[in-house]
Amino acid sequence: MDENTDENTGQNTGQSNVSGEPLEVCSLEPLTGFYRDGFTNTGPEDIGSHTVCAVVTAEFLEHQKSIGNDLSTPHPQFGFPGLKPGDRWGVCAGRWLQAYHDGVAAPVVLKATNEAALSTVPMEALTEHSADVPDDPSAFADGAG
């Protein structure tokens, strides 16, 4: 953990998520993030804006490979283990948006997605694919609506 991580909560205290709250960990195994800190932290060096915390699916990985972004092949020399379906990973906002437009967007963990993603991806698209809520939120309706 780094100086921006609260040791008690595991939350990043330096950057915010898309809800304006402290950014939460995306993945420590595999260790993700442009800075390999487990978060979707971003900065001037992060040209690709690795700010969307996605739960990758087979379809998403296949799509990424087909557009030249192979996320499944390990590259240990870069500290990259290769991803498998179900892994959480900080993906480039533009690549996620491209998958969204192509109908293969991976689910998104909103609490771990950096607010900087909103400069590329509409909040509605992220919410539509949120892994934080069920597919049918009406299951929570009490009928009093």
Instruction: Show Cβ contacts of residue 140 under 8 Å, excluding neighbours closer than 6 positions.
Output: none
Q: What is the CATH number of domain 12-131?
A: 3.30.56.110
**Residues 41-65 pLDDT 10s:** 999 999 999 999 999 999 999 999 9
Burial of 99 (0-12, 13-18, 19+ CB in 10 A): buried
pLDDT tens digits, the chain, 145 residues: what are they?
Answer: 445 554 544 545 589 999 999 999 999 999 999 999 999 999 999 999 999 999 999 999 999 999 999 999 999 888 788 999 999 999 999 999 999 999 999 999 999 999 999 999 999 999 999 997 554 556 555 544 4
Cβ atoms within 10 Å, residue 142 = 5
Q: What would the pLDDT profile of 66-79 be if each residue is shown by its tens digit?
A: 999 999 999 988 87
